[in-house]
Amino acid sequence: MHEARVFHGLGAVERARLRELSTLFLHRKTFTGSQGLDVSTGIAVAVAAQACLLILDLGLDYYDGWVEIIIYPGPFRVSKDVTDATGLVSHQEQVLGGESWLQGPVILSWDTAASDLAGLRPGQNVVVHEFAHKLDMLNGSANGMPPLHSSMIRQHWTQAFTDAFDQLHQRLAQHHHPGINVYAATSPAEFFAVSSEYFFTAPATLQHQFPAVYEQLVLFYRQDPARRSAAQ
């Protein structure tokens, strides 16, 4: 099989570690196919390897506290009640390519995951996106800040992400090109998940658009994908 772009530039040691983590991941997690999807070994391995890329230098413990991955054949419909800042509750119907629940399952559309694996949407990867939410939710509900390492400075993180989030909104207000997927403008949590997608699949773009965010993600993930793809 042609290797997916998301794994480009990994060295022999990193590849061996990724294989080892993926194997453990497959042991610890359960895969459930929905709507008649038969989760083949190929599908499970593809999801596991991408999920483990995020924690390559963090460890599998970062995915503790939940076990299930549910896979739909294609984008799936969810309906939920959303409460806004004024307390108004509205009912929303959405079609999603992925979803992560606090202490619950990760839900993915295989159709979306497969096209991302093939690199059909540059900078986008639904598996990376949903597992980034899982990391964010390690310290409570998703708010765009996963538990930082003790060597990191919380204020630097907040500054980098707040500035970038504001800048993205400014670009949109002025009808400028957003630089990254506009979905990042939805909330700080989505900004973190979307910037993680770019970090792993189009690192040079993120580094160019939001260098301070890129730098914080290097510190958090303990990886530098831009450097490894430049070394190709």
Residues that bind Zn ion (CB under 5 A): 190, 193
CB closer to Zn ion out of 116 and 190? 190
For residue 104, give the 3-state DSSP assignment.
coil
Is the Cβ of residue 58 or residue 108 nearer to Zn ion in the bound state? 108
CB closer to Zn ion, 124 vs 223:
124
Residue 184 Cβ, how far from Zn ion at the closest point, in Å? 9
Tokens of 95: 């079609």
User: Cβ 133 to Zn ion, closest distance in Å?
Assistant: 6
Cross-strand partners of 89: 83
Q: How far is CA 48 from CA 35, 37, 41, 186, 197, in A?
A: 21, 17, 10, 27, 16
Minimum Å gap between C-beta 129 and Zn ion is: 6
Which residue's CB comes closest to Zn ion? 193
* Residue whose structure tokens are 């990886």: 223
List the 68-72 sheet strands across, edge first: 30-33, 68-72, 106-109, 98-100
Shortest Cβ distance from residue 98 to Zn ion (Å)?
7
Q: In which element (H, E) is residue 135 found?
A: helix 126-136
C-alpha neighbours within 13 Å on the C-beta side of residue 52: 26
Give the residue with the Cβ less far from Zn ion, 69 or 193: 193
Least spacing, CB of residue 41 vs Zn ion, in Å: 27
Nearer to Zn ion, 180 or 193 (CB): 193
SS3 140: coil
**Please, which residue, 9 or 178, has the CB nearer to Zn ion?**
178
Q: What gap in Å lies between CA 152 and CA 145, rounded to an integer? A: 12
Alpha-carbon gap, residue 82 to 93, rounded angstroms:
10
Instruction: State the minimum distance, in angstroms, from the CB of residue 215 to Zn ion.
Output: 22
Indicate if the alpha-carbon torsion angle 201, 218, 52, 29 is positive or negative.
negative
